[in-house]
Amino acid sequence: MKPSVNDIPVTEQINERSRQLDRLSVAEIVQLMNEEDRTVADSVQRALPEIASAIEAVVEAVENGGRLFYIGAGTSGRLGILDASECPPTFGVDPELVVGIIAGGERAITRSIENAEDDPEAGRKEIAAVLTDKDVLVGIAASGSTPYVIGALREANRIGAATVSLSCNSDAPMSKEARFPIEIPVGPEIVTGSTRLKAGTATKMALNMMTTTLMIRLGKVYGNLMVNVQATNAKLRERVVRIVQRGTGCDEATAREYAEAAEGDARVAILMLKFGVGAGEAKQALLETNGHFGKAFARLER
């Protein structure tokens, strides 16, 4: 019996607008892609309440000593790893605070590992080895039905960790396994089933929201300045100088002088300039507030 269209996940359905895709010109293809991509932000907007609820749970967990784990297969797993790997250089956090796990292990980051996503027991074992009841697990799967991810979510629930599911289908099986289900149905892809396209974009947008909001709440941002950025190369050392300028209103020469005195730590340089303290006192304020810039600022302001 042939399945009806209602039985097929939206991520696997035919996009009627692209039925003649292989006959279009290059200009027509990119125009169609752009038009389809413009719908993604609206799809994400409709899921904002669920995304916000999940983020609040993540913030609470991390503030109480927990960590954030992403798990997925294929594109979904790679997007989780990408988002996690950007947190240390951008926000100066420990690489173990946000961790991405992919079905098939590290080799699967650059190569397809056949059948890795079909094993729920593999997902269960991955999570059993690393997760505690203080942590949060975000299971990512565009289809919302990946057995590997479902196995991981079930184990996380058994452990007592907070669980989030992120999928791009409505009524996804995975949603039933998570305390905080997020569904962002973006509609059929222009290349049928190629969820690295709209579904991948929606997933990346949601993950960006999750970690960026988390880091803001943890005090890793001052205004809209990434004061915790790690000055590990020439470009980033110059960025620190600009951050110090913008954060204090001083001139470039002063910002450069204080950035050097602070050993490339924009937070320390800003506190030194704002309150006329030495590097040691600025660092101590940050240490006493667990690296929360806003709280360190308030402490020195008193």
Catalytic residues, by residue number, are 86, 117
CB atoms within 10 A of CB 42: 9
Cβ–Cβ < 8 Å for 207, 231: no
CB atoms within 10 A of CB 15: 17
CB atoms within 10 A of CB 85: 15
Angle at 90 between CA 302 and CA 269, to 5 degrees: 35
Structure tokens at 57: 């749970």
Nearest-angstrom CA–CA distance, 31 and 28: 5
Tokens 């450069």 -> residue: 256
Residue 138 CB partners (closer than 8 Å, separation 6+): 54, 68, 69, 70, 71, 80, 163, 164, 165, 166, 207, 210
Cβ–Cβ < 8 Å for 183, 170: yes
Mapping DSSP onto H, E and C, the string for 5-70 reads HHHCCHHHCCCHHHCCHHHCCHHHHHHHHHHHHCCHHHHHHHCHHHHHHHHHHHHHHHHCCCCEEE
The amino acid at residue 22 is D
Among 179, 173, 184, CA closest to 150: 173
